[in-house]
Amino acid sequence: YLTIELKGSIPEDLRPQIGEWVFGCDVCQQVCPWNQRFADPSGEASLAGEQLFSPRAGVPRPDLIDEITISPEEFNQKFKKSPIKRAKRRGYLRSAAVVIANTTRKGDRRAEEALQRAALDPEPLIREHAAWAFEKITKPEQ
């Protein structure tokens, strides 16, 4: 829900729970009784022999530090036929900022610089989450 359907800000207390999930709800897909009709005996969901709920070839793990500053035009081109378009650029980059904060070690200059640029994005939702992520990876531990 938080990475796709939620249109606004992800509550701060839930951000750490997102972990490294940028988009989607694979766990929901795997346990949904409706989807069980497509499961093969091995327990892997499939349709016509193809595994479902897996990333497309060539896009298994995007570099979120590069992605966080993607322009609207680049986003529309890159995700033209992707379900990621459902979250829109603002939702995708909002979630990307949260994942960067959850997975980046303090002192990662590349991530810091990308988040600083994203914190200047015209979209308020992206700015908010990028600024939060920047603070999280730069603020000294207490």
Domain boundaries, the chain: 15-22+62-138
Compute the distance between CA of residue 43 and CA of residue 53 in angstroms, rounded to an integer. 13
Compute the distance between CA of residue 86 and CA of residue 4 in angstroms, rounded to an integer. 7
| The predicted structure's pLDDT at residue 51 | 53
pLDDT at residue 45 greater than cutoff 60:
no
Each residue's pLDDT tens digit, 50-70: 555 555 555 556 789 999 999
